[in-house]
Protein backbone atom coordinates (compact mmCIF):
# COMPACT_ATOMS: atom_id res chain seq x y z
CA UNK A 1 0.00 0.00 0.00
CA UNK A 2 1.32 3.43 -0.98
CA UNK A 3 1.42 6.02 1.78
CA UNK A 4 -0.81 8.96 0.99
CA UNK A 5 1.04 12.10 -0.10
CA UNK A 6 -0.58 14.02 2.71
CA UNK A 7 0.89 11.73 5.35
CA UNK A 8 4.31 11.82 3.79
CA UNK A 9 4.30 15.60 3.76
CA UNK A 10 3.34 15.75 7.42
CA UNK A 11 6.13 13.35 8.31
CA UNK A 12 8.74 15.53 6.59
CA UNK A 13 7.56 18.78 8.15
CA UNK A 14 7.66 17.18 11.59
CA UNK A 15 11.08 15.67 11.14
CA UNK A 16 13.14 15.93 14.33
CA UNK A 17 16.75 15.19 15.11
CA UNK A 18 18.70 14.54 18.27
CA UNK A 19 22.30 14.37 19.26
CA UNK A 20 24.31 12.20 21.59
CA UNK A 21 23.59 14.54 24.48
CA UNK A 22 19.85 14.03 24.07
CA UNK A 23 19.22 17.51 22.65
CA UNK A 24 16.29 17.57 20.24
CA UNK A 25 15.91 19.97 17.34
CA UNK A 26 13.89 20.32 14.18
CA UNK A 27 15.55 20.64 10.78
CA UNK A 28 15.52 24.44 11.10
CA UNK A 29 17.12 24.55 14.56
CA UNK A 30 19.67 21.79 14.57
CA UNK A 31 23.28 22.71 13.76
CA UNK A 32 23.87 23.06 10.03
CA UNK A 33 24.64 19.66 8.50
CA UNK A 34 28.35 19.61 7.72
CA UNK A 35 29.26 22.03 10.53
CA UNK A 36 31.61 21.01 13.32
CA UNK A 37 28.82 21.26 15.89
CA UNK A 38 26.69 18.96 13.83
CA UNK A 39 29.47 16.39 13.45
CA UNK A 40 30.57 16.61 17.09
CA UNK A 41 27.05 16.04 18.38
CA UNK A 42 26.46 13.11 16.05
CA UNK A 43 23.03 14.44 15.14
CA UNK A 44 20.69 11.91 13.64
CA UNK A 45 17.06 11.77 12.67
CA UNK A 46 14.54 10.57 15.25
CA UNK A 47 12.78 7.55 13.81
CA UNK A 48 9.21 6.52 14.54
CA UNK A 49 10.52 3.81 16.88
CA UNK A 50 12.68 6.39 18.67
CA UNK A 51 9.60 8.56 19.18
CA UNK A 52 7.65 5.68 20.68
CA UNK A 53 10.54 4.76 23.01
CA UNK A 54 11.04 8.39 23.99
CA UNK A 55 7.34 8.93 24.72
CA UNK A 56 7.20 5.74 26.80
CA UNK A 57 10.26 6.79 28.79
CA UNK A 58 9.74 10.54 29.18
CA UNK A 59 5.95 10.71 29.04
CA UNK A 60 5.60 13.09 26.11
CA UNK A 61 6.50 13.15 22.45
CA UNK A 62 9.93 14.54 21.48
CA UNK A 63 9.88 18.19 20.41
CA UNK A 64 12.41 20.74 19.22
CA UNK A 65 13.73 22.63 22.26
CA UNK A 66 14.07 25.90 20.33
CA UNK A 67 10.57 25.68 18.86
CA UNK A 68 9.21 24.88 22.32
CA UNK A 69 10.97 27.94 23.79
CA UNK A 70 9.59 30.17 21.02
CA UNK A 71 6.08 28.78 21.56
CA UNK A 72 6.44 29.41 25.31
CA UNK A 73 7.46 33.03 24.72
CA UNK A 74 4.52 33.43 22.34
CA UNK A 75 2.23 32.05 25.04
CA UNK A 76 3.63 34.59 27.49
CA UNK A 77 2.65 37.37 25.10
CA UNK A 78 6.17 38.24 23.94
CA UNK A 79 5.03 38.45 20.32
CA UNK A 80 1.94 40.61 20.85
CA UNK A 81 3.62 43.84 19.76
CA UNK A 82 6.13 42.40 17.36
CA UNK A 83 5.62 39.10 15.60
CA UNK A 84 8.56 36.73 15.49
CA UNK A 85 9.61 35.39 12.10
CA UNK A 86 10.67 32.18 13.79
CA UNK A 87 7.39 31.62 15.57
CA UNK A 88 5.01 29.14 13.92
CA UNK A 89 2.07 30.61 15.79
CA UNK A 90 2.87 34.13 14.61
CA UNK A 91 3.23 32.80 11.07
CA UNK A 92 -0.11 31.09 11.45
CA UNK A 93 -1.69 34.35 12.59
CA UNK A 94 -0.46 36.08 9.45
CA UNK A 95 -1.75 33.41 7.06
Query: Smallest gap, in angstroms, from Cβ of residue 81 to Zn ion?
Result: 11
Residue 71 contacts residue 88 (beta carbons within 8 Å): yes
CA distance readout (Å), 75 to 7, 22, 28, 78: 28, 25, 21, 7
Binding of Zn ion by 74 (CB under 5 A): yes
Total of residues contacting Zn ion (CB under 5 A): 11
Binding mask 42-71 for Zn ion (x = CB under 5 A): ----------------------x-xx----
Min dist. Cβ of residue 2 to Zn ion (A): 29
CB atoms within 10 A of CB 30: 24
- The set of residues, in sequence order, having a beta carbon less than 8 Å from that of 92 and lying 6+ positions away, is none
State the nearest-atom distance from the C-beta of 3 to Zn ion, in Å.
24
Residue 26 binds to Zn ion (criterion: CB under 5 A): yes
Amino acid sequence: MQPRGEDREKEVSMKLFWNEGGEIACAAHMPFAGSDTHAAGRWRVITTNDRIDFAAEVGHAPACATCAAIARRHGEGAHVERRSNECAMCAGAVA
